[in-house]
Copies of this chain bind each other. A is one copy, B any other.
């Protein structure tokens, strides 16, 4: 139809990536008892410009009142709905190493409608072990989890060597959304969404900027 050819109903990816930030700010305001908010206030709480916020919201519809602002509860609900957070999202964590165990113990998932329904590991010596009050299950359980429990999101917390295999198992079972903590590029068909989180990468980017700061100082003393 018109612009950003990204998602069916035309919400640009860059915009989608900011929606969770808006939702977070709105939730905090709601808990503070704030009932109404202007684009300026919400934008500053979310760390973006007000023009960008308004444009992002305009992709979802017209939920503000001119001259007044946005109803906090209403807007939060609209954003949650746009993100698909009206239902619970079952999540499975694959790989019970250091990181996997930390993720399993992390309580931040449930807060926003993500329910960890299973912890899995490829290694028979780990399967059966109890982690965060739950028994670790074998990879062969994946099919059942997808079909009987609607598992939709897989979190990969394996070592790099095992990540592609873990991913393949997830996809074979029918999972189409993957959050990957392993430092590898996963090969997946185009209908699958992968998001990567990598500490080393983030630190290296920080190193670049810290380094550049040093150079700038040295050049202009």
Which A residues are closer than 8 A to B by beta carbons? 7-9, 16-17, 19-21, 23-25, 45-47, 82-85, 89, 91, 98-99, 101-103, 105-109, 111-114, 152-153, 176-179, 183-185, 191, 193, 195, 197-216, 219
**Binding site secondary structure of chain A:** helix
Q: Which residues of B contact A46 (CB under 8 A)?
A: 185
In the complex the two chains form, is A83's CB within 8 Å of B185's CB? Answer: no
- Which residues does chain B contribute within 8 Å of A184, judged by CB atoms? 24
Compute how far the CA of A214 lies from the CA of B106 in the bound complex, rounded to whole angstroms.
Answer: 28
Q: What residues on B are CB-neighbors of A216 within 8 Å?
A: 8
**A193: which of B83, B84, B85, B206 is its contact (CB, 8 Å)?**
B206
CB < 8 Å neighbour of A204 from B85, B197, B210, B214: B85
- C-alpha gap A53/B181 in the complex (Å): 23
How many whole Å from A121's CB to the nearest CB in chain B? 16
Q: In the assembled complex, how far is the CB of residue A200 from the closest CB belonging to chain B, in whole angstroms?
A: 5
Tell me whether A7 and B195 are in contact (CB under 8 A): no
In this complex, what residue of B is CB-closest to A18? B201
